[in-house]
A and B are shown apart, each in its own frame.
Chain A
Amino acid sequence: MSARDRILDGCDLETFIVCDAVEEGKSLGLRLMAELGFDDADVVFCEMGGPGVRIRLRGYVYRPAAEYRWYDQEADSIE
């Protein structure tokens, strides 16, 4: 089973990325989300300060009206 399927809607990842400009930080943030397997990702907030950006990234697993899979794999539920 995919634990990600059990996420209710979206997964936020907030971190600090070392970079020289806000655009670089956003680009790196979106790359990070892609590396983590979030295809539907966005930058919620990004603020440059000091040696990088404080960034909040959002990976949507289900947008409203999507096909939810929360209950599809009950047999595989984590013990």
Chain B
Amino acid sequence: MNEPKKVLLAPLDPVHDVGLKLIRKKLMDRGHEAVLLPPDLTPEEIVSRALEEKPDFIMVSRALSYGTSELLAKFVDLCDAAGLRPRTKLVVGGLSMRPEMAQELGFDAGFGPDAPAEAAVDYVEGKEIVSIVGTRPRSKVDLTQGYTYEFSDKEIGDLCIQAAKQLLDWAEERTSPGIRRAQLRLEMEEARSKGRSEDVDNLRAEYAKICSGEVKQWYQTGEPVSHTRPLTRKELKEIELLSEKKDHMQFPVSQDILNDYNVFIQYGTGCPEMDAYHSIVSIAWGARGVVHFDPSWGARTEGLLEQAWSHEHDGTVITLDNLNLIKKALLPGTLWQVRAHRGLNTPETVVLAHLAGADLTKINMVYGSLGAGTDPERLVVDGVESMKLAARYNLPYDVVTNEELCGVPAAKAFAGMLVVATAGVLLGGRPFLQPLFAHSPEAIIAGTMDDNFIDFNVAKMKVLSSIIDAPIWPGAPVGFLTQSQDRCQSSVMTALHAALALDSGAIAVTIASSDEAYAGGPITVPARIDTLKATAAALRFFGKGGISPTAEVDKMACDLRNDILDVLNKLVARGDFVASLYEGILGDREDGAYPGRAGRGTVTLKKV
């Protein structure tokens, strides 16, 4: 037991004294004597009481406003003049107080809003004040753990299994240049790691033959792809320095609440060094995971580059070197997704994700072929191979429904997602369902979100979780088409969507920055922090209180389930998943879905 101390608690404030009341309770619980003065006393009156009480400590609290610094400095001067020091130690606390500010004002100690009441009591007892800093998870979590992937809705489940088996059987007989390059990449990296340079050269030459456009040109002539340049030695060294520093970095304690959730951000500034900084800053402010965003041309060009490249435009080039550089900024507990979903390099990207040590990937043949420009036949063949690779590498992946952004109704998008996810499960994989959690064009036209943004989003979550026991990770990002260029509005919309999704049973969410609706240039780091701060605040606000939809949600969910069933019935009746993509069963031209052309005619039957 410490020697009991006498503490005079003085709210140097017209009203606020709740912090001091809490400290009084903690002091008394630990056997100290605490005298709490009423609010709104002048500094002179507090000093006068201190001379009567002869306390060991005077703790004043103050919410900062105009002239506060002068007031607190005056209080310290008065204590000195009255001879209270050094017998009595002076402590200040308040919402805007920081330890260094207290020191500047002449106090012996200061406590800010992040300091628990126990810290002030520890100080009274002479214990060392440990600076209050945040922590971030040091170990990874498996977001798919505990999900059985069993269908609760047998009617829908049976149709999904039929359609999935058909698409797997169809793909089994076919191959593509994308699949061949994935094999070559694996062989090349293995040969490289064993120092077999001649083999590397031969494999590389074969690889180059089945590339296209500027990527092929780079392999053949060494001329860089437009708007890219190699990273400099200085940049490479700076990433190393950042990596060395990351173990000693501070994290804001105000963001620790996000440690209890799985909030992802997307990076892809174009430059791996900038991405490394964006990633570690986002992790510092509570992001549990980061998602690699690649350039759109990467999806439409056959082949991926090698070495480390910076790109002047949106999206960071996928190469093993670039991925390895960005990884240096991540913490041991950071979940890292390298997206492979939409283009001509899908299988190879899964291979690179595996080689770089990523935790997650993204595979979707429906969105990629109806909304992102890749030929459906090609993407189904490549997508199936990618799911096989992901299962082999134990890489979970999400199946996104961004075709909703084109205008495809949720029922069609969900039917496609469920079939693809079922195929993934049949191949031994662990897919996430990734519904769009946004103000989708369908909802805008149908008016299902005219009153609020809650009901239709919750209906989607209810439907999916009533169909199959699979992890749901909405995005990506949540809140699409609700954000504006105003950073406050944008941050609030992102935070509310994230809180709603997590409250509705999502295992994770991907959030945008407050620059989501700005198209004039790259996202800035402050814009990333904006939405992470807002999301933490929203989660703190709702806590376990939950968000309640209106009674409309059950009807919306019921209608959506019946519409999914209709689409699946049509799909199974057609008996050909790929043909269904071309013919519009999962989204037609009127919906805004257009079968892509990149890679058309490149699928071949496997040689027996």
Instruction: Give residues 22-69 of A contacting B (CB, 8 Å).
Output: 22-23, 47-52, 54
Instruction: Give residues 246-299 of B contacting A (CB, 8 Å).
Output: 246, 249-252, 254-255, 277, 280-281, 283-285
Q: Are A49 and B281 in contact (CB under 8 A)?
A: yes
Interface status of A14 (Cβ within 8 A of chain B)? yes
If A23-B100, A49-B284, A51-B245 touch, does A15 touch B526 (CB 8 Å cutoff)?
Answer: yes
Q: Are B249 and A50 in contact (CB under 8 A)?
A: yes
B280 cross-chain contacts in A, Cβ below 8 A? 50-51
Beyond the given A49-B251, A50-B280, A51-B284, please list 10 additional residue pairs across the A-B interface where CB-CB is below 8 A. Answer: A15-B524, A16-B525, A47-B254, A49-B249, A49-B252, A49-B284, A49-B529, A50-B246, A50-B281, A54-B525
Residue of A nearest to B248 (CB): A20
Question: Can you list 16 pairs linking A and B with CB atoms under 8 Å apart?
Answer: A16-B281, A16-B525, A16-B526, A47-B252, A47-B254, A49-B134, A49-B255, A49-B284, A50-B246, A50-B285, A51-B280, A51-B284, A54-B285, A54-B525, A54-B526, A54-B529
If A22-B100, A23-B100 touch, does A51 touch B277 (CB 8 Å cutoff)?
Answer: yes
Residue of B nearest to A16 (CB): B525
If A15-B526, A16-B529 touch, does A51 touch B251 (CB 8 Å cutoff)?
Answer: no
If A22-B100, A23-B100 touch, does A49 touch B285 (CB 8 Å cutoff)?
Answer: yes
Q: Are B526 and A14 in contact (CB under 8 A)?
A: yes
Residue of A nearest to B133 (CB): A48
A22 cross-chain contacts in B, Cβ below 8 A? 100
Interface status of B242 (Cβ within 8 A of chain A)? yes
Measured between alpha carbons, how far is A16 from B524 in the docked complex, in Å?
A: 9
Q: Is the interface of A mostly helix, strand, loop or mixed?
A: strand
Residue of A nearest to B285 (CB): A49
Q: Are A49 and B250 in contact (CB under 8 A)?
A: yes
Measured between alpha carbons, how far is A22 from B134 in the docked complex, in Å?
A: 15
Residue of B nearest to A54 (CB): B529
Measured between alpha carbons, how far is A47 from B98 in the docked complex, in Å?
A: 11
Distance from A22 Cβ to chain B, minimum over Cβ atoms (Å): 7
Distance from A29 Cβ to chain B, minimum over Cβ atoms (Å): 13
B255 cross-chain contacts in A, Cβ below 8 A? 49
B100 cross-chain contacts in A, Cβ below 8 A? 22-23
Q: Are A51 and B281 in contact (CB under 8 A)?
A: yes
Residue of A nearest to B254 (CB): A47
| B283 contact from A18, A50, A52, Cβ within 8 A | A50
Measured between alpha carbons, how far is A74 from B134 in the docked complex, in Å?
A: 51
Measured between alpha carbons, how far is A52 from B526 in the docked complex, in Å?
A: 11
Q: Among the interface residues B245, B251, B529, which one has the most CB atoms of the partner chain A within 10 A?
A: B529
Q: Among the interface residues B100, B242, B526, which one has the most CB atoms of the partner chain A within 10 A?
A: B526
List the 6 closest pairs (A to B, CB-CB), nearest first: A50-B284, A49-B284, A16-B525, A49-B252, A50-B280, A50-B281
Q: Are A48 and B252 in contact (CB under 8 A)?
A: yes
Q: Are B251 and A50 in contact (CB under 8 A)?
A: yes
Distance from B9 Cβ to chain A, minimum over Cβ atoms (Å): 27
| A51 contact from B134, B242, B529, Cβ within 8 A | B242
Please encode chain A, from 1 to 28, with 1 for each CB lying within 8 Å of some chain B CB and 0 for all others.
0000000000000111010001100000
Measured between alpha carbons, how far is A21 from B524 in the docked complex, in Å?
A: 21
A14 cross-chain contacts in B, Cβ below 8 A? 526
Q: Are A48 and B242 in contact (CB under 8 A)?
A: no
B529 cross-chain contacts in A, Cβ below 8 A? 16, 49, 54
Instruction: Give residues 456-483 of B contacting A (CB, 8 Å).
Output: none
Measured between alpha carbons, how far is A31 from B251 in the docked complex, in Å?
A: 25
Q: Among the interface residues A14, A48, A51, which one has the most CB atoms of the partner chain B within 10 A?
A: A51
Distance from A65 Cβ to chain B, minimum over Cβ atoms (Å): 13
Distance from A34 Cβ to chain B, minimum over Cβ atoms (Å): 20
Measured between alpha carbons, how far is A54 from B255 in the docked complex, in Å?
A: 13
A47 cross-chain contacts in B, Cβ below 8 A? 252, 254
Measured between alpha carbons, how far is A22 from B100 in the docked complex, in Å?
A: 10
A49 cross-chain contacts in B, Cβ below 8 A? 134, 249-252, 255, 281, 284-285, 529
A23 cross-chain contacts in B, Cβ below 8 A? 100
Distance from A47 Cβ to chain B, minimum over Cβ atoms (Å): 5
Measured between alpha carbons, how far is A59 from B526 in the docked complex, in Å?
A: 18
Residue of B nearest to A20 (CB): B245
A15 cross-chain contacts in B, Cβ below 8 A? 524, 526
A50 cross-chain contacts in B, Cβ below 8 A? 246, 249-251, 280-281, 283-285
Measured between alpha carbons, how far is A45 from B524 in the docked complex, in Å?
A: 18
Measured between alpha carbons, how far is A29 from B188 in the docked complex, in Å?
A: 49
Distance from A54 Cβ to chain B, minimum over Cβ atoms (Å): 5
Instruction: Give residues 485-539 of B contacting A (CB, 8 Å).
Output: 524-526, 529
A54 cross-chain contacts in B, Cβ below 8 A? 285, 525-526, 529
Measured between alpha carbons, how far is A54 from B533 in the docked complex, in Å?
A: 11
B246 cross-chain contacts in A, Cβ below 8 A? 50
B251 cross-chain contacts in A, Cβ below 8 A? 49-50
Distance from B215 Cβ to chain A, minimum over Cβ atoms (Å): 33
Measured between alpha carbons, how far is A65 from B120 in the docked complex, in Å?
A: 40
Measured between alpha carbons, how far is A51 from B246 in the docked complex, in Å?
A: 8
B254 cross-chain contacts in A, Cβ below 8 A? 47
Distance from A74 Cβ to chain B, minimum over Cβ atoms (Å): 29
Residue of B nearest to A18 (CB): B277
Measured between alpha carbons, how far is A74 from B242 in the docked complex, in Å?
A: 50
Distance from A10 Cβ to chain B, minimum over Cβ atoms (Å): 14
Residue of B nearest to A47 (CB): B252
Measured between alpha carbons, how far is A48 from B112 in the docked complex, in Å?
A: 14
Measured between alpha carbons, how far is A18 from B134 in the docked complex, in Å?
A: 19
Residue of B nearest to A46 (CB): B98
Q: Among the interface residues A48, A49, A51, which one has the most CB atoms of the partner chain B within 10 A?
A: A49
Distance from B524 Cβ to chain A, minimum over Cβ atoms (Å): 8
